[in-house]
Structure 1
């Protein structure tokens, strides 16, 4: 692997402000949430005020607060903030589930309402197949029209999130950090999701071919698969580097806040070659040659040895010059929040639109200074932010500035403040 430090000079444009200029900015918000057979909710219809910049859901653990955030996250490409399987979401693990959202995109005095729906079709089995296990298929509709896939959900808006499960991001294996990097990258480059998916599908096909036929596999077909892997893998690596350079510039130019600035590095073979100045077409050639050379090794191991699926995303606490995995739990959380904020400001500056943010149990793990700073930043961001917590007192400073709901036993009601 080649570790590539990301510097601000790699960005394509300077992003000078830590607080976005909202002139000509598009505000994204959820004005209605409707759920059917979705986890703890048999049905839910939640209507919100258009003016709500922040929505706060409070209630005891396990009552369904995160379920609402997860449902909203399905208006973004991919598998939602939990990464759950389609058959794990329904209320009784057998009923079809659905999520219907009404999004409002507002710019100046013009507001466009967009209806987004997703869920699973009736499970079916192939009568001619020996596999009798039902297979579910997710469908996505935008204003009533069925979309080809989930990638279209990233074209006109983006959604970011932070969950308690992500608190271990810096101390777990590289897979979680790589997915985190890719999720952020999709906010600026929606096609990144398609490139990652295409690479992974082609890689699995190559792995199966080598597993089934070994070194005697059709060399022409292997070469075709490896060419496709190179095409999609290099495109994804380019997007990762471009995004990382942009956010490095955003972090460097931002004002100081209670959230420490981060230094970033990408540890990956393809990304390293690109960062060294090789043209993408040259990197594709080198990758195809390497894949061909590693066929015997990959045949023995049952997996592909080199590629974007091995990349790691390295974060360092800049003021301390300390890798994030060596920092305290509180410092790691602050670094994570800082990256989410930097990404939101970057999208606002480049796209004139901030992402809709879903922050699950974020306030409980911040001290008073950081909590107050976070609320101020979110209030000025320009798109809606959803927060959850078990303790209403943590959100006292947001009274009159946010819309509050009590969540209990599958019911959601406006809070009595």
Structure 2
């Protein structure tokens, strides 16, 4: 389900209480910086597994002076469809405010990943504009977010790998560490690293074969995973790669003890992006070209989720027009009209979204609420 028919926020960020019923599938949220535009998108992003589009800590989410917060959405396959709608809710657990709880139609979910069966969302944020100037960690998280939207269990694989790695690092720092315990942790790291890498490779393969990407008006991207584990998986079965990786990790114990980290693992991967037609790397492209590649990738990702799940994800586009020229802004508007899904866009100047006037609702945050444009 990818349409929100009602959104209620309680003590979330700058909103004490908000109850909003979107009138149309596409909503433009326009207003000055600091008015709460991105907070609305973040609230929706928290309805899916993960830490939302900001990657915020739990203590950053409640309104100032409060500890509990909540987001409730009535979602449906079609706008205004009350008969077949479903209520999704997330927020701080009253018994443990440092943890999030998920509910579907009032029933608490024991496995938070299962919320993906009912609702999915993908997003683009201004922070992603710096993806190709920053370190590998940001690009890896970007790719993992794409994978997570299709494979909710991916987050567990990455988390399990990182936990085993941290435990191994601590054990290496101790004198006389038990070699059997180290071997068990290294085997755990290898198993989860291979699973996470395989999921990353699958998503990249799907994105690289999206033929519609060349018709969107954006440069079609070609992604590549820089990772020794991926190189082995392209040639050998997963179990053989697990054995190889566990041996490689074990062989670097002395070096890892000195450097306080692991030379091998899922945490060493990097993602590269280039223009599919020209081959020009994103890292060597202009800011506008980089933004266009990212927009095209997000649109491809939405189509992939639609094909796999039979329902397009909701699109959350924070300041999507920044760095785009007029032609590519028009391309984005045309692409959004073709996608039959809910869309939230933000910007400081409503006039930049004028081509969407006939098919979108325009609102402005004010005093913790939303004011509809005339």
Q: TM-score range by the shorter chain?
A: over 0.9
The residue aligned with 2:34 is 62
Aligned mates of 1:230, 1:281 — CA distance in 2: 10
Q: 2:21 aligns with which of 47, 58, 74?
A: 47
Q: After alignment, is 234-243 or 91-100 more displaced?
A: 91-100
Kept after mapping to 2: 8 A contact 1:154/1:186 = no
The residue aligned with 1:261 is 220
TM-aligned CA distance change 1:359 to 1:298, over 3 Å: same
Aligned mates of 1:320, 1:233 — CA distance in 2: 32
Shift of 1:208: 2.2
Shift of 1:373: 1.3
TM-score, normalised with respect to structure 2: 0.94
Kept after mapping to 2: 8 A contact 1:196/1:233 = yes
Cα shift readout 1:191-227 (whole Å, capped 9, x = no counterpart):
212211221222222222223x24x212222222222
TM-score, normalised with respect to structure 1: 0.85
Q: 1:288 aligns with which of 246, 268, 271?
A: 246
Kept after mapping to 2: 8 A contact 1:364/1:394 = no
Q: 2:202 aligns with which of 213, 229, 242?
A: 242
Kept after mapping to 1: 8 A contact 2:29/2:347 = yes
Aligned mates of 1:111, 1:300 — CA distance in 2: 62
For these two proteins, the number of residue pairs brought into alignment is: 373
Aligned mates of 2:280, 2:158 — CA distance in 1: 30
Q: After alignment, is 152-161 or 240-249 more displaced?
A: 152-161
Kept after mapping to 2: 8 A contact 1:316/1:324 = yes
Kept after mapping to 1: 8 A contact 2:213/2:219 = no
Aligned mates of 1:367, 1:246 — CA distance in 2: 28
By relative contact order (CA 8 Å, sep 6+), the higher-ranking structure is 1
Does residue 411 of structure 1 match 2:361?
Answer: no
Does residue 164 of structure 1 match 2:126?
Answer: yes
Cα shift readout 1:102-137 (whole Å, capped 9, x = no counterpart):
211349x9963222211223576xxxxxxxxxx712
TM-aligned CA distance change 1:289 to 1:145, over 3 Å: same
The residue aligned with 1:312 is 270
- The alignment partner of 1:112 has SS state of coil
The residue aligned with 1:127 is none
Does residue 229 of structure 1 match 2:229?
Answer: no
Aligned mates of 2:83, 2:179 — CA distance in 1: 55
Query: Any residues of structure 2 matched to 1:8-407 within 5 Å, and which?
Result: 28-49=2-23, 52-92=24-64, 94-106=66-78, 112-122=84-94, 136-211=98-173, 213-214=174-175, 216-250=176-210, 252=211, 254-275=213-234, 277-407=235-365
Aligned mates of 2:138, 2:83 — CA distance in 1: 37
Aligned mates of 1:332, 1:378 — CA distance in 2: 19
Aligned mates of 1:406, 1:118 — CA distance in 2: 24
Cα shift readout 1:24-49 (whole Å, capped 9, x = no counterpart):
xxx51111111111111111111123
Shift of 1:254: 4.0
Aligned mates of 1:123, 1:89 — CA distance in 2: 17
Aligned mates of 1:400, 1:47 — CA distance in 2: 18
Alignment RMSD, CA only? 2.0
Aligned mates of 2:171, 2:112 — CA distance in 1: 28
Aligned mates of 1:361, 1:300 — CA distance in 2: 44
Aligned mates of 1:110, 1:90 — CA distance in 2: 29
Q: After alignment, is 195-204 or 338-347 more displaced?
A: 195-204
Kept after mapping to 2: 8 A contact 1:155/1:190 = no
Q: Where does the alignment leave 5 or more consecutive residues of structure 2 unmatched?
A: none
Shift of 1:186: 1.8
